[in-house]
Structure 1
Amino acid sequence: PNAAVTQGLVGWEGVGGGNNTIDVRDTFHDSMLNQSLISPVTIGNLYAEGGYRLNRLGDAELYFESMVTRRESYQNAKRQLALDYAVGSPLIPANLAWSVVGRDEGMSKGKDVGVRAFTLLENRAHQDVDFQRHIVGMKGDLNVLPEWRYDVYVSHARSDGEYRQPQFLKSRLSESLDVIKGADGTYRCRELAANPGCLAAPALSTDLVAGKLPADWFAYVSPMDVGVTTFKETVAAVGFDGPLFTLPAGRVMAFVGAEHRRSSLNDLPSEASQKGDLLNYSSAAVTQGSDAVWEVFGEIDAPLLADLPFAQSLNLTASYRFTDYDSYGSDSTYKIGLVWQPTDWMTVRGSYGTSYRAPALFEQFVGASSGFLNSTLDPCNSYGSKDANIRANCAADGLPTDWSQKSSVKSITLGGAEAGLAAETSSNLTIGAVLRPALPAGWGDLALAVDYYDITVKNGVSLASSENILRECYASTPEEFTKKIGLCRLVERDKNSGNLTVTTSYLNLATDRVKGVDYNVRYVNDIGPGALLLNLSVSHQPSQLRKVFASDPLVNQAGFIYSPKVSGAADASYVMGDWRMRWGVDWVGPMEGYTRLKFDPATSIYNLRTPDYFVHHLSTQYAGDGWTATVGVRNLFNTNPPEISANSLYSVVGNSPLMSSYDFAGRTAFINVSRTF
């Protein structure tokens, strides 16, 4: 809208092209900066525990724990509303009556769209979650077995969540836009008899495009959409621990137990969501399911050697667990570890273990749904100027370089159980050593630790969004695209119409394997009236292998954007009486995106390289009698995350890769006060 335009389309200014171009300008409204990146949240928590000695049943103690939590969160956002005025609608100004945009996309009752009006609106989503967990148990001595103890308890947890936000209803918008003009010059819904509450949409105007909508009409077409989620879990467990027998190096201790868990989930979206009546939102079915598991487990701690040359101590730990799910059957897992101390300044440790996890209830039973994504998410829209891989893949689909998707992208989401989701398994090998060299008197204490790990996850459960599937599929190599490797298996394009369909669900990653080494150095020494503590930790992951499907090639993602090879943290603390002063630094190593996209960094027009990233923190803490106060500043130097060129593969905030190890809040002062009583 532009009131200065007094000829042609009076009051209107063309933007960005077309026959009505008067100026080409930025259409990004300043108010769009007022959107939540980090959700504001308020949490209230109440916790209590207690016990009562019975003086019987092995000096038993009855005990309880109880916790109640309330969490309230919201997100400020902007939302674009597109209103389709049908050809011939009396709501279209006379000087726009000639316009024809295209065919009906569900809002103009089968008639061609004459004018599509866009307006930017406030949109705030709210979530409230009430959680409670209560435990009742009894523990004491087993009189029948000397020095053995028992612990038996029952717990129940329940979470009730409500999520709500205003949503435009397609059915009401369609009826509201289908109007007739009365003799008095006012508009009313054509089907008012069938829809007595229907309010006519406002006529196309400068105020409408500026977001100034009649309050009663806005409330009619966008009521509050409310969904509720309930999760329940009941656990019954019993455990026994004590000595088994005595070896020359000491006593062998053991723990055995059993546990039964039963859980249920019921997520009930709104009726409009279930019917697919939300504008630009997918439909959502009811998510409902339950599962139960029995487990028996045992663990031993055995001192094998002690006080011998090159063996001051040698300890073995071993554990075993048998798991039987109603949903995914049974499996056995185990872990074995050794800790060897040949001298008083060296310790060597190692372990190997396995794990088994049935998918969570939501992963299994999320309700099958279908919906439509904005047509602008088609990676092939005007692909002639996009990445080389996208150009090749869109051309392989037989599309012209100036292709423009006219239809919404269909998105189909299946529940994991329906899609054949399998249980997740893993293995974990760790080998490490701790060195504590003896320093001269007054030099303090020094400790160095090095740990190597090799973790393999098979059938790892993951959910890829439809948008990510499209982006990564069309950014893949032409060979991967034509052979339908990886996420491209989930994308289909109609050869005649060019329409896109994406199918997604919780799926199993065929392999996810990480190898790395963790280093840690710690130094403590008395200096002046207090003590200085220095700590440095570095993680090096040169091998981060992943493939989605069994037939896919393994790709080492180490060093790719989102997957740094190296990262670390360091802090220096000085403690003097009740006071502690700390300086900390978090570090994320350099990353690049050229290899993933198969671009030559020497010739690419994109910047896909991030440098080392350091964030500094400063705090002072005072610990008094039963209370603690901390004052500090996070991101002391207000360091911005590194920037890359926007492209089709990486999610960004502004131009910074969206990853949790980057700080998007900037310099933040804080005060924490805690009191125990």
Structure 2
Amino acid sequence: MRSLRRKTLAVQCALWLALPGLAAAQEAPPSDDPTTLDAVEVTGTRIRKAEIESQTPVQTLTREDIERTGLTSIGDIVQELTGSGSALNTKFNSSGNFGFSPNGDGVGAGSAQVDLRHLGPKRVLVLVDGMRWVNESSASGVGAATDLNTIPLALVERIEVLEDGASSLYGSDAIAGVVNIITRRNYEGGQITLNYGQYDKGDGELSGVDLAWGTNTDKMNLFLGASHVDQEPVYSRDRAQAREPIPGTGLTFGSSATPNGRFVFFPNAPSSACPLTDVDDDPATPAVPFCDITTPNGSSFPNGVGYPNDFIGFDTPNRFNFAEYNMVLTPSKRSGVFGQIRYYFTDDVHWYAKALYNRRESTNQAAPEPLFFGPDAGTGNPYADDITISALNPYNPFGIDLVSSGPGANLVLIGRRPVEGGPRVFEQEVDTQYFATGLDGSFELGERSWFWDVNAAWSKNEAEQTNYGSYNIFNVAMALGDPAVCAATPGCVPLNIFGGPGTITPEMLAWIQPVVRDRSEQKLSQFTANISGDLFEMWAGPLSMAAGYEYRKYEGSYTPDPLNYVTMPDGTVENHYNGVPSLPTSGEYDVNEVYLELNVPLFRDSPFGKSLDLSLAGRYSDYSSFGGQFTPKYGLRWQVADELLLRATYAEGFRAPSIGELYGSASRADLQLDDPCLIGVDGSAPTGNAANCAALGVPPGAAQSNSQISVTTGGNPELDPETARSFTAGLVFSPSFASGVSWSDRLDLELTFYRHSIEGAVQAIDAQTQLDLCVATLDPRYCDGITRSSVGSINGFNNRLTNLGSIKTDGWDADVFWTLPETSFGQFKLSWQNTFVTRYEAIGAAGQVQPRRVGVEVTDSAIPDWTSNATLDWRYNHWSASWTVRHISELEEECGDAVAFPVCSDPSEGTNKLDATTYHDVQLGYRFDLLKGLQLTGGVNNLFDEDPPICLSCSLNGYDASTYDIPGGRFFYLRADLRF
């Protein structure tokens, strides 16, 4: 926080009486009473005193800072902070590719989240004007994080980021910090803002309009606004780095489900396409006829004609490149209207009301959905894994039943990509509603001023996701089975999966391809009452306090399409959805809380310095879901001299498990995993212990046909809250030798050390780590829930949530803010903010080390050891300009099966280096004296077209979308801002 520089801001803020939930004023509210100058509400304390605003490290993004980014999403803006970690944004093409989150709370497709200190978005509390914002809904589960795309950027006055644990002040979720979004309130006149931008490749067009109008009278403030943002997509096929499953490896890691089909089975007799083969590499066992074949050209294959002559052996060139169908930037439309009114009954009693409605429409797209059949499919659905494809199917060219299990089993795997059905398209519509009202005021008790407020708020997120391009696996199985059964079923027509692209007809698609609709909803109802003032005078000043009561009720539900849970005639419930399956989820809980905060002055104007204050805070929370929890916080603020401030805090915190984490039912995540017991997709030898692999049922010579393994995730009602401890210590130094001199008008230096420790973290063990430990140890703690088919491949993987061991991280923030004297060339300001992460370690409940650590890229997220943002700002008369440099230090990742390719930078160690990356953003503006002002601004983000480093372990597009800009990404933008 620029604490010493913000005294002016503190005085301005003091001109209005804020409640937790009302925000920054551009002008003073009508009042004849100057005593309200002491009523300052700042993030990080509930006590309303300007003197203690710098007690905790708070970073403030002003409206000017926000506009300098050229971005139109709050999520995109806060994700560029140096203390931010990996979080979802619109660069993640989530639905249909990721399945469900291993956290059991769904994937927030199309959302934008915030992560602080790399502790995860669910451990960051998001407030709007001091009140909690409802958690996200994206129709894919019951999320535990906040979707910042539900809050229009146009209503924001500033954003305050508390980079410290704050459970004692704000309750659950504030483990890693707090993001408090302060809205515009007191505003006079109107404003129209037009935004336009696009990438230099001619795609990713962005357009938007913001409208704002406000008026003030002696008794009232009124503000109204509307916003619309339309972001067009960028397709992977238009970016060289994203056109392959893994850059630099061609089709090696493409899918074995191809438009021409892949057929792996044991025929009755050998042929030119299916010769005698030693399938287990054991010379003691005889060779058998074996098929691993495809057809390069396709055919209708009526009654077996075409086999074996039209078939060839399946190999890498026959794999399918699914990457070209993906997006590197997903489309998003966001439209919102909002308003708030404040009425002054007297100078001491005020009433307010505020309302918001926002709609987000977003889309994700994936390659045409694959169909996998046989024991090696590993879908977990018996209609796919245990299928029998009839020899009587008119399109079956092999003349035999293809049987997955039981007597006569001969099928290993069939993979077919029905491109005739088009890509998978997931369209989300998310509606956010918010209403709040309350009273606040002040009164005099003796000679002391007291401030109070009571507030009530209700908010709801509801979402619907419509999926085009998926399949009904029950209908697929029927269409491949006995033609007589199909003929007796209305609508059923036999299905041709053997004939290559173009042979699945519209009539076939009509039987197997439904439109799938999922829904979710989250509600938050809350009531708060607060009071703050000075209790009595002590030897070094008044003892100040704040106290309050808070009630919250959370309600959440997720309703997948009924195709996921079909009730059969015999009363059993089956899953008929070929995509990522899930079951309904619903739950609710409430919490009652009380808190007390004290500021104790220890000395003033003593030989030890100007002042020393001790802050004490505690909150007791009573949850209907698990019981009570007490969290304390302690802090010291030592003003050594006018130019030097020292501060330190210690806090205990907790996070209550969310509805999705508690009650989320079984769902599936399709993860990229390397099976140590199988020959790699690239042909590399197994890395696991051979004896252990044999004990797990893996036959010699078994190969991994598909690196995407279905992992079952889900909630756990036995979860306990996470507990946390955090510590910060730092200084703010504004040297007098750099104030008001020829080379410097003002210089502020800030240094903060932070440490966070979480025990009982709610998460699933990393799936790759669990698999590796199972193979290495055969320990039931890791192997229970992992099952294998008769051919050795994984066909079941249970990876549920639990309270894992611990997460520990620490590091430093080092910031410089320098204002140069104004000259005939204008005035320059430099801000340079840095975060150094010195430790991050996650330990499982059984002592297993999780793979995330400093300087490592894993699971589409990174923890750089150094991130840095530097901005040089220039003002001269009506001109303005800025140059921003964003730096991310180098990272390292495991190459996995890509170790044999040149793109793996250090194959001897099996690691790949992601080079340090630096982006340059520039902006130029001019203000015309038209009406109240017309500001024209143009800029370029990623001026030098820096591509992100290639990531071999990332799920999509060959880069980490949570850390870097998109590849091929110069972004040009223009903004016109007219005030009247």
TM range (shorter): 0.7 to 0.9
Distance in 2 separating the partners of 1:203 and 1:298: 68
1:72 aligns with 2:361: yes
Contact 1:87 1:97 in 2 (8 A): no
- More displaced stretch, 36-45 vs 65-74: 36-45
| Corresponding position of 1:156 | 458
Distance in 2 separating the partners of 1:607 and 1:283: 34
SS in 2 for 1:552: coil
SS in 2 for 1:558: coil
**Mapping 1:332-411, distance limit 5 Å:** 332-369=630-667, 380-383=677-680, 385-386=684-685, 388=687, 394=693, 397=696, 399-404=698-703, 411=711
Distance in 2 separating the partners of 1:629 and 1:352: 46
The alpha carbon displacement at 1:278 in A equals: 4.0
Name the CA shift for 1:49/1:60 in 2 (closer, same or farther; >3 Å).
Answer: same
Name the CA shift for 1:22/1:475 in 2 (closer, same or farther; >3 Å).
Answer: closer
1:538 aligns with 2:840: no
1:60 aligns with 2:349: yes
Distance in 2 separating the partners of 1:30 and 1:576: 53
The alpha carbon displacement at 1:406 in A equals: 9.0
- More displaced stretch, 302-311 vs 488-497: 488-497
Name the CA shift for 1:439/1:137 in 2 (closer, same or farther; >3 Å).
Answer: same
| Corresponding position of 1:461 | 762
For 2:743, the aligned partner's letter is W
- The structure 1 residue matched to 2:735, chosen from 437, 447, 454, is 437
Distance in 1 separating the partners of 2:390 and 2:432: 52
Name the CA shift for 1:492/1:537 in 2 (closer, same or farther; >3 Å).
Answer: same
Distance in 2 separating the partners of 1:213 and 1:385: 35
- The structure 2 residue matched to 1:617, chosen from 911, 921, 928, is 921
Name the CA shift for 1:474/1:174 in 2 (closer, same or farther; >3 Å).
Answer: closer
| Corresponding position of 1:451 | 752
- The structure 2 residue matched to 1:176, chosen from 461, 473, 479, is 479
Write the deviation string for residues 368-404 of structure 1: whole angstroms up to 9, x where unpaired.
35x6969997554424715745878646646345214
Distance in 2 separating the partners of 1:285 and 1:514: 35
Distance in 2 separating the partners of 1:278 and 1:376: 25
1:508 aligns with 2:812: no
The alpha carbon displacement at 1:453 in A equals: 1.3
| Corresponding position of 1:197 | 491
SS in 2 for 1:168: coil
Write the deviation string for residues 452-491 of structure 1: whole angstroms up to 9, x where unpaired.
1111011122256xxx61x333445975x44467xx3565
| Corresponding position of 2:946 | 639
Write the deviation string for residues 97-145 of structure 1: whole angstroms up to 9, x where unpaired.
3477x42489xx9996997644333111111111101011111224667
Q: Which has the higher contact order (CA 8 A, sep 6+)?
A: 2
The alpha carbon displacement at 1:342 in A equals: 1.5
- Name the Cα RMSD after superposition: 3.9
Name the CA shift for 1:282/1:478 in 2 (closer, same or farther; >3 Å).
Answer: closer
1:473 aligns with 2:770: yes
| Corresponding position of 2:424 | 123
Identity of aligned residues (%): 22
Contact 1:133 1:155 in 2 (8 A): yes
| Corresponding position of 2:845 | 549
Contact 2:599 2:615 in 1 (8 A): yes
Name the CA shift for 1:612/1:374 in 2 (closer, same or farther; >3 Å).
Answer: closer
| Corresponding position of 1:184 | none
Contact 2:883 2:922 in 1 (8 A): yes
Distance in 1 separating the partners of 2:411 and 2:329: 41
| Corresponding position of 2:882 | 582
Distance in 2 separating the partners of 1:442 and 1:114: 77
Name the CA shift for 1:34/1:456 in 2 (closer, same or farther; >3 Å).
Answer: same
For 2:684, the aligned partner's letter is S
Contact 2:471 2:579 in 1 (8 A): no
Contact 2:870 2:885 in 1 (8 A): yes
| Corresponding position of 2:371 | 82
Q: Which protein has the bigger strand share?
A: 1
SS in 2 for 1:504: coil
Name the CA shift for 1:500/1:148 in 2 (closer, same or farther; >3 Å).
Answer: same
Write the deviation string for residues 36-71 of structure 1: whole angstroms up to 9, x where unpaired.
23321111111100022234xx83222101011101
Contact 1:392 1:478 in 2 (8 A): no
Distance in 1 separating the partners of 2:690 and 2:460: 51
Distance in 1 separating the partners of 2:319 and 2:896: 31
Distance in 1 separating the partners of 2:414 and 2:604: 86
Name the CA shift for 1:574/1:387 in 2 (closer, same or farther; >3 Å).
Answer: farther
Q: Tell me the TM-score normalised to structure 1 length.
A: 0.83
| Corresponding position of 1:185 | none
Distance in 1 separating the partners of 2:547 and 2:323: 58
Contact 1:591 1:609 in 2 (8 A): yes
Contact 2:817 2:832 in 1 (8 A): yes
Write the deviation string for residues 141-174 of structure 1: whole angstroms up to 9, x where unpaired.
2466752122111111111111120321112222
Contact 1:87 1:111 in 2 (8 A): no
1:316 aligns with 2:614: yes
Contact 1:566 1:589 in 2 (8 A): yes
The alpha carbon displacement at 1:532 in A equals: 1.1
The alpha carbon displacement at 1:29 in A equals: 5.9
Distance in 2 separating the partners of 1:376 and 1:349: 46
For 1:473, the aligned partner's letter is Q
Contact 2:412 2:791 in 1 (8 A): no
SS in 1 for 2:565: helix
Contact 1:280 1:373 in 2 (8 A): no
Distance in 2 separating the partners of 1:401 and 1:415: 36
1:13 aligns with 2:296: yes
**Gaps spanning 5+ residues in structure 2: where?**
1-258, 261-271, 274-293, 299-307, 374-387, 567-573
1:299 aligns with 2:597: yes
Distance in 2 separating the partners of 1:554 and 1:97: 47
SS in 2 for 1:218: helix
Distance in 2 separating the partners of 1:550 and 1:292: 32
Distance in 2 separating the partners of 1:396 and 1:111: 23
**Gaps spanning 5+ residues in structure 1: where?**
3-7, 181-188
- More displaced stretch, 623-632 vs 427-436: 623-632
- More displaced stretch, 132-141 vs 602-611: 602-611
SS in 2 for 1:439: helix
Distance in 2 separating the partners of 1:334 and 1:117: 58
| Corresponding position of 2:331 | 40
The alpha carbon displacement at 1:297 in A equals: 0.9
- Count how many residue pairs are aligned between Structure 1 and Structure 2: 634
Distance in 2 separating the partners of 1:256 and 1:375: 50
SS in 1 for 2:367: strand
Contact 1:88 1:114 in 2 (8 A): no
Distance in 2 separating the partners of 1:49 and 1:162: 28
1:422 aligns with 2:720: yes
Name the CA shift for 1:301/1:211 in 2 (closer, same or farther; >3 Å).
Answer: farther
Distance in 2 separating the partners of 1:115 and 1:398: 22
Q: Tell me the TM-score normalised to structure 2 length.
A: 0.59
SS in 1 for 2:760: strand
Contact 1:352 1:429 in 2 (8 A): yes
Contact 1:281 1:373 in 2 (8 A): no
